[in-house]
Amino acid sequence: MSIATKDRARAVGTSLTGTVKWFNEAKGFGFITADSSDGSKGTKDDDHFVHYSEIKGEGFKTLQEGQRVSFTSCNGPKGLQACAVVPR
């Protein structure tokens, strides 16, 4: 099992931190790159799909490229998904 696969298995169902890779406000989705287990910036294998409905907070829910977030890693229909996203 590769390190990325081990990190991915560790990530599902756990609280993580990461950085917004991109977010399309018009479509309401984007991707977050989770930090690696050693705290360094992750790779594309650490990317989590994020939907605006998972962003916690009041009012218009959006994220900005480069913004730091905390979230729970979940299994989505097409791979890793960010759940309960809290902007920092």
| Domains of the chain in sequence order | 3-87 (2.40.50.140)
Whether 1 has a pLDDT exceeding 60, the answer reads no
The letter for the amino acid at 25 is E
Question: Averaged over 32-38, what is the pLDDT?
Answer: 84
Lowest mean pLDDT across 22-26, 68-72, 75-79? 75-79
Whether 4 has a pLDDT exceeding 50, the answer reads no
pLDDT of residue 26: 98
Greater confidence (22 vs 38) lies with 22
Q: pTM, whole model, 2 decimals?
A: 0.81
